[in-house]
Amino acid sequence: MTELSTGEQRLGWFNDLPDDRAVDELLAVCHSRRWAARVAAGRPYPDLAALQRTADEVWTALEPGDWLEALAAHPRIGERGGASPDSSSREQAGVGAAGGDVKAAIASGNAEYERRFDHVFLISAEGRGAEEILANLRARLGNDAATELRVAAGEHRRITSLRLERLLRG
């Protein structure tokens, strides 16, 4: 008899959750109610790859209002990144280590971005330094609203994938 990996054990746990608990777990990963309900409804998943494929397909098929719902749950980039153990803090660790001038420029860019697009600037920050994030923020300020929403949704899809993997890999 082969022993199950942690990911396989966690997938079994997830597949066996009552529907409302599965949705709650998924809402912690991605704050779109429609996404969470649709991904939970696809259970049981035979493996992690099938779950990730479904999660990605569901995200891509959502409406802009669903994306905005998920974006609204995110903190501004640079407002987390310290010792807090939550996902946003871990993901933004590179910003937490930045100098004061870069942090101030990110804060200023965040404000300009929100005035322009009416949602937070979102980037998959894990593994990125503050200067790279700032350069991305400045470049994306040149997008039109529809393009930027698609770009932010793509970044959110990457974040969701990482968080889903963490949920099921333990």
List of residues 6+ apart from 34 with CB closer than 8 A = 62, 63, 66, 69
Residue of 31, 74, 119, 156 with catalytic role: 74
Known catalytic membership, residue 31: no
CA distances from 50 to 45, 56, 100, 161 (A): 6, 10, 43, 12
Q: Which two tokens stand for residue 66?
A: 């669903």
- Angle at 136 (CA atoms; ends 122, 65), nearest 5 degrees: 30
SS3 36: helix
Catalytic (active-site) positions: 74
